Amino acid sequence: MGKFKLAMVAAMSLTNGIGKDGGLPWRLKGEMAYFRNLTSHVSDGDKQRGVRNAVIMGRKTWASIPPKFRPLSGRINIVISRTQSAQDLGVDPASKDVRVFASVEDALQYLAGPPSGDTAAIGRVFVIGGAQLYAELLDLDNSIATVDKLLVTRILAPQYDCDAHFAEFRTREQLDADADLAKKVAPAAIGAPVEALLEKHLPQLLEQSRWTQASPQALRDYLGTSVPAALADSPDLVSREDETWYQYQLWMRQD
Ligand SMILES: NC(=O)c1ccc[n+]([C@@H]2O[C@H](COP(=O)([O-])OP(=O)(O)OC[C@H]3O[C@@H](n4cnc5c(N)ncnc54)[C@H](OP(=O)(O)O)[C@@H]3O)[C@@H](O)[C@H]2O)c1
């Protein structure tokens, strides 16, 4: 099998904040349903062949999922830990739903390996966090795999306090586009403190773009039938839950 493509999935603030105190800074039911649909979706034909997608996560993200919701159903869960074995994590080593690997390389070899009992039918492979795993894999481009897509939920407003971040992958122009959208949809939530936050963030931006934001239609095409019904009427894929505004985005690596 040739080199395979990985997609990263992350919800992040205007300045790429993704976590707080080991958990998510926000609680967004609709966004969680989007994540579930996006990472579970396989075409009808593939479904008949028993294809399942895989989600790769760091041990701390695994630990942050409430036990009754893990493993994430309908997907092959790949957990990476240097220090803990499947047994330590209370996972059946023979499970076809969860596999624990001591390194990213071992996990990728497993996913890329020749079909066997449980790898016979793997569809899309998603890296779902957390901060450490995103940082290690964002620029991955080795002989086994490359990350070519970012599925970002951009939390536009309000600005949540975060202590874990996703590496900056945008230029000034790309950040400005997100900030302008935030000002348009939630003007009351964007003021001087947010401007100061953005100003402080500027040194992290890339000089030259490495990622291109794809059109909403390209994201819809990628999602296939898993497009949330609520987004059918939203041309820019912007959603609101209570006071939180966010946009579903697809970014493609530039060659
Ligand atoms: N907003 C989002 O979309 C999103 C998504 C996921 C997570 N998060 C947030 O991200 C935060 C967690 O991130 P985190 O960075 O603390 O943890 P993490 O990346 O989930 O897990 C880190 C752990 O993974 C293992 N690991 C990482 N790289 C490894 C490697 N190369 N080889 C072997 N093992 C490796 C290590 O486990 P051992 O210590 O066991 O060796 C390490 O301690 C939480 O706040 C969570 O809510 C946010």
- Domain CATH for 52: 3.40.430.10
Is the peptide bond preceding residue 130 cis, with omega within 30 degrees of 0? yes
For the CA of 82, the closest atom of ligand 1 is: 41
Number of folded domains that form the chain: 1
CA gap 191, 211 in Å, rounded: 28
Entry field: residues in the chain: 255
Q: Write down the catalytic residue from 6, 14, 24, 219.
A: 24
Query: What's residue 198's pLDDT?
Result: 95
| Catalytic residue list contains 24 | yes
What are residue 82's phi and psi, to 5 degrees?
-75, -35
Q: Using a 6 Å cutoff on CB, does residue 25 contact ligand 1?
A: no
Least confident range from 17-21, 119-123, 179-183, 204-208: namely 119-123
Q: Write down the catalytic residue from 31, 38, 231, 237.
A: 31
Element (H, E) at 167: none
Average pLDDT, the chain: 92
Domain range for residue 154? 4-253
Q: Using a 6 Å cutoff on CB, does residue 129 contact ligand 1?
A: yes
SS3 of residue 71 by DSSP: coil
177-206: average pLDDT = 93
Query: What's residue 117's pLDDT?
Result: 61
Confidence grade of residue 126 (pLDDT, cut at 50, 70, 90): very high
Query: What's residue 44's pLDDT?
Result: 87
Question: Distance from the CA of 81 to the center of ligand 1, in angstroms?
Answer: 9
Percent of the chain's residues with pLDDT above 90? 79
pLDDT tens digits for range 132-157 = 999 999 988 788 899 999 999 999 99
pLDDT tens digits for range 7-39 = 999 999 999 999 999 999 999 999 999 999 999
Q: Using a 6 Å cutoff on CB, does residue 160 contact ligand 1?
A: no
Query: What's residue 231's pLDDT?
Result: 73
Question: Distance from the CA of 63 to the center of ligand 1, in angstroms?
Answer: 9
Query: What's residue 234's pLDDT?
Result: 82
Tell the residue number behind the tokens 């946009």, with chain if given: 247
40-61: average pLDDT = 93
Token output for 4: 């395979």
- In this model, does residue 191 exceed pLDDT 60? yes
Query: What's residue 114's pLDDT?
Result: 63
172-187: average pLDDT = 96
- DSSP classification of residue 191: S
Query: What's residue 242's pLDDT?
Result: 94
**Closest Cα to atom 13, ligand 1: which residue?**
130
Q: Using a 6 Å cutoff on CB, does residue 22 contact ligand 1?
A: yes
232: CB partners within 8 A, 6+ apart: none
